[in-house]
Amino acid sequence: MRRFAPPSHDAPKNYTRRRVYDINVIRNYENFLNEGPDMKVSFFGVMPHRELPADFEQRYKSVWVDPPFTELADPVKVGQWYNWTLDEYVHAAKAGFDGVCVNEHHQNAYGFMPGPNLMASVLARETNHLNTAVVMLGSTLTTNYPLRIAEEYAMIDAISGGRLVAGMPPGSSMDSNQAYGVPPIETRDRSAEAHDLILRAWQAKKPFAFNGKYTKLPKVNIWPRPIQPKPPVWIPGAGSASTWEYVARNQHCYCFVSFFGRKMAQNVLDGYWAFNDKFGLDRNPYRAGFNQVCVVGETDAACERDNAKHIEYFYRRTLHVPEHYWALPGYQDYPSLEKSVRSGVVAKMTEKLAQFKTYKYKDFVNDEMIIAGGPETVRDRLIDLSKRLRVGNLMLEMQLGSMPPELTKQNIDIFTRKVLPHLRGVWGDEWENHWWPERCRAVPAAKSRERADA
Partner 1 sequence: MSAVMHRERTVSLWGKQINPRVFVGGEGPPVVFLHGAGGLLWDDFLDALARRHTVYAPEFPGTSPGEYEAIKVLDDWHDLVVYYSELIDALGVEDVALVGHSFGGMIAAEIAAANPRSIAKLVLLAPLGLWRDDTPIPPWLSMNAAELSKLFFHDQTIAQRFMLSPDAAAAQPEVLIAATWALACAGKFTWPIPDRGLRDRMHRISAPTLLVWGDEDALVPPVYAQDFKAGLTDARLAMVENAGHALIHERPAETARAVVDFLNI
In the complex, least distance from residue 334 CB atom to partner 1, rounded to whole angstroms: 4
Nearer to partner 1, 181 or 218 (CB): 181
In the complex, least distance from residue 57 CB atom to partner 1, rounded to whole angstroms: 17
- Interacting positions 305-344 with partner 1 (CB under 8 A): 322-325, 328-330, 334, 337-338, 341-342
In the complex, least distance from residue 181 CB atom to partner 1, rounded to whole angstroms: 4
> Measured at the alpha carbon of residue 78, what is the angle toward residues 72 and 79, in degrees to the nearest 5?
160
> What is the contact mask toward partner 1 in residues 209 to 248, using x (rule: CB under 8 A)?
----x-----------------------------------
Pairing of strands 216-220, 208-211: antiparallel
Q: Are 109 and 131 in contact (CB under 8 A)?
A: no
Nearer to partner 1, 328 or 400 (CB): 328
Nearer to partner 1, 267 or 343 (CB): 343
Nearer to partner 1, 323 or 406 (CB): 323
Nearer to partner 1, 121 or 177 (CB): 177
Helices (H), 227-374: 241-250, 261-279, 300-313, 334-342, 345-355, 361-366
Number of residues that bind partner 1 (CB under 8 A): 23
Question: Which run of H or of E encompasses 147?
Answer: helix 146-159
In the complex, least distance from residue 299 CB atom to partner 1, rounded to whole angstroms: 43
In the complex, least distance from residue 291 CB atom to partner 1, rounded to whole angstroms: 25
Burial of 197 (0-12, 13-18, 19+ CB in 10 A): buried
Nearer to partner 1, 229 or 329 (CB): 329
Strand partners, 220: 208
SS3 of 135, please? strand
- Interacting positions 282-301 with partner 1 (CB under 8 A): none
Nearer to partner 1, 308 or 345 (CB): 345
In the complex, least distance from residue 269 CB atom to partner 1, rounded to whole angstroms: 25
> Measured at the alpha carbon of residue 226, what is the angle toward residues 224 and 232, in degrees to the nearest 5?
150
- Interacting positions 409-428 with partner 1 (CB under 8 A): none
In the complex, least distance from residue 314 CB atom to partner 1, rounded to whole angstroms: 24
Nearer to partner 1, 328 or 396 (CB): 328
In the complex, least distance from residue 235 CB atom to partner 1, rounded to whole angstroms: 21
Distant-in-sequence contacts of 245-250, Cβ < 8 A, 24+ apart: 245/275, 245/279, 246/192, 248/275, 248/276, 248/279, 248/281, 250/195
- Interacting positions 153-192 with partner 1 (CB under 8 A): 177-178, 181, 183-186, 189
166/232 Cα distance (integer angstroms) = 6
Nearer to partner 1, 102 or 327 (CB): 327
- Calculate Rg over the CA atoms of the chain: 21
In the complex, least distance from residue 39 CB atom to partner 1, rounded to whole angstroms: 40
Nearer to partner 1, 298 or 338 (CB): 338
Say how many C-beta atoms besides its own lie within 10 A of residue 445's C-beta: 16
Phi, psi of 202 (to 5 degrees): -75, -35
Strand partners, 393: 40, 289
Read out DSSP for 401-424? TT--HHHHHHHHHHHHHHTHHHHG
Query: Could you tell me the sign of the dihedral formed by the alpha carbons of 390, 395, 401, 407, in that order?
Result: positive
In the complex, least distance from residue 415 CB atom to partner 1, rounded to whole angstroms: 38
> What is the contact mask toward partner 1 in residues 61 to 90, using x (rule: CB under 8 A)?
----x-------------------------
Site residues, partner 1 (CB under 8 A) = 65, 177-178, 181, 183-186, 189, 213, 322-325, 328-330, 334, 337-338, 341-342, 347
